[in-house]
Structure 1
């Protein structure tokens, strides 16, 4: 049985819920060789977008009570039962310590930060650059928004201008309330953390269960497959929507990212009713073609039907439980 509450540490380092290869320096040369010999279209040959969000839509609440705007990667604006929640916000052009090098967005964020509607919470799953962007946090800091983050990440939020009273650090299994009728509960993931080679594993990584009056959803952030998904499903499911990473997988780091097959299995284990694939189609973070994860997922669903939710980037889309596939990437594929 996987322990869902209370992360363990050895010295300064947090531990995964199960033994995990986090693709450290010993993988450097095999990964480098793969990159040097790779011929997949991991960066689109055609420019994606432009995508543009019609922010006037936010003046009216979703009829279903649940609406999601995919900003790209793991950045989601979630409207759930009267609350607006932003996850892992990254608006910068590069997911990197520098805006001069590192993975660059395939398309600009479709909703300018200045056009964001009022938010009830911002959730930070872990401190990697593709989930936690300094420039974006600094822009959000003056807006008086509560932040909920993993243990150790609060130090960055405070340094970047977020008031201490707005920061709630969370361990695995912690629950916090957003207003009177929405709760968030954190769960383990199988991943790692660190913003440099010198501080790996020194802050925590986690996922979020978000429960409103009517809807119960799961934001999976980053994780490799582990049996904990079954435990999470038993403890907190079923879920109206699971938001699970399908991209950035590779044979040299199978423990820390799922890919489409393991994400599909995680959705089933979580007792999900509908699955939204995230963490794909935005940054070049792996060796597979940029469109490969979603194409594989669609093939899996042909063999074992499940309801998917695949909105176009930047388009506020209601979650009704009915299968929805915008197919937005097809017009940008070069094959």
Structure 2
């Protein structure tokens, strides 16, 4: 969440394709459309909501513990695609013989220090030491809830490649990642991971509507979404982005996608131009021609003014209305992807039993989700 900053954007031209490299001008990258990432005018509202808000932003019951059995990684997925959600936007993809770790965050806090900042709701389900053999680490942008310096440093010896958005490589080099391991991509750039046999994985950086920065300086590195494609399947990883018409063009040129991951948490009307939230995630999924939607970026950090469980409840309702299959596994559970819907509703085990007169039943949580 950025609470202040100017509007950074590409010049508007309706005839211009969104599928083009990001513009870099005067030391900053530009968004694909006019975008407000936050303004000082919102400070009074934010302060008031921080003090008076009644939302259950942090679970009242401890979540987990969740555990991943590393023995499962000794056997390749029968379906060709196995996904382990490690929480928030940290994902382990085993795709047709290629293993990619996306936005690994293993530290206690998503912050520049470990004594202050958003704290995890539960420990990493899979310890770093138990990760399987990796072919690459994929880093979407440099915000602290996506780029963990301690995790990167521990992965230097284990990952043969670090694929990242333009400029993020500068962080990696400072942390000790050898330059020859780093592959920086602008939008529309691709890199290929060899995989096994005749199933290489092509990773393509695509536009996103967001911002970057790990200090007061913003926009100095790029933010991206990614397409991961083999001869057998096509996956879209949305990372962080607000809604814009570019999703339609991505869907037209790279879709349909067997699986689409989109963020549903850490959203608010004050910053809806840089985060989707459930409603815009559903809209984007339709634009992208998603066959299955995997909602991510929720349930691990307190980053917004909504109940921690509101995003999955809302997206569950929206998906049912739209007839779109959801993929919502439990954290840390390696799950074979077959194209069928998976919605474990695991979060309901940890919801407060009664809130404002609504019991933690399907009907009760639906009332809470709709009201939020």
TM-score normalized with structure 2 length? 0.88
Distance 1:184 1:13 in 2: 24
- What is the count of residue pairs matched by the alignment? 334
Aligned-pair CA distance for 1:27: 3.0
Distance 1:65 1:215 in 2: 9
Spell out, residue by residue over 1:247-293, the C-alpha distance to the aligned partner (whole angstroms, 9 max, x if none). 00012111000000100111110011001000000100000000000
**8 Å Cα contact 2:227-2:236 kept in structure 1:** yes
- The structure whose Rg is larger is 2
Equivalent residue runs for 1:136-155 within 5 Å: 136-155=151-170
Aligned-pair CA distance for 1:2: 3.9
What corresponds to 2:281 in structure 1?
263
Distance 2:127 2:212 in 1: 28
What corresponds to 2:262 in structure 1?
244
Spell out, residue by residue over 1:71-115, the C-alpha distance to the aligned partner (whole angstroms, 9 max, x if none). 000000001111000101100010000110100010000000000
Distance 2:322 2:133 in 1: 39
Q: Which runs of 5+ in 2 are unaligned?
A: 1-15, 355-372
Distance 1:26 1:88 in 2: 32
**8 Å Cα contact 2:137-2:159 kept in structure 1:** no
Are 1:279 and 2:297 counterparts? yes
Are 1:78 and 2:93 counterparts? yes
1:16 equivalent among 31, 55, 59: 31
What corresponds to 1:49 in structure 2?
64
Aligned-pair CA distance for 1:223: 0.2
Spell out, residue by residue over 1:212-261, the C-alpha distance to the aligned partner (whole angstroms, 9 max, x if none). 23111011000000000000001111110001000000121110000001
2:202 equivalent among 160, 163, 183: 183
What corresponds to 1:108 in structure 2?
123
Aligned-pair CA distance for 1:144: 4.2
Equivalent residue runs for 1:1-335 within 5 Å: 1-179=16-194, 181-197=200-216, 199-334=217-352, 335=354
Aligned-pair CA distance for 1:25: 3.7
Could you say which structure has the greater relative contact order, defined with CA pairs below 8 angstroms and 6 or more residues apart? 1
3-state SS of 2:295 partner? strand
**8 Å Cα contact 1:81-1:213 kept in structure 2:** no
3-state SS of 2:225 partner? strand
Distance 1:90 1:242 in 2: 21
**8 Å Cα contact 1:141-1:162 kept in structure 2:** yes
Distance 2:159 2:28 in 1: 31
Distance 1:15 1:84 in 2: 31
Q: Which runs of 5+ in 1 are unaligned?
A: none
**8 Å Cα contact 2:134-2:159 kept in structure 1:** no
3-state SS of 1:142 partner? coil
Distance 1:183 1:256 in 2: 27
3-state SS of 2:180 partner? helix
**8 Å Cα contact 2:202-2:229 kept in structure 1:** yes
TM-score normalized with structure 1 length? 0.98
3-state SS of 1:252 partner? helix
Aligned-pair CA distance for 1:145: 2.2
Aligned-pair CA distance for 1:10: 2.8
**8 Å Cα contact 2:136-2:159 kept in structure 1:** no
RMSD: 1.0
Aligned-pair CA distance for 1:53: 0.1
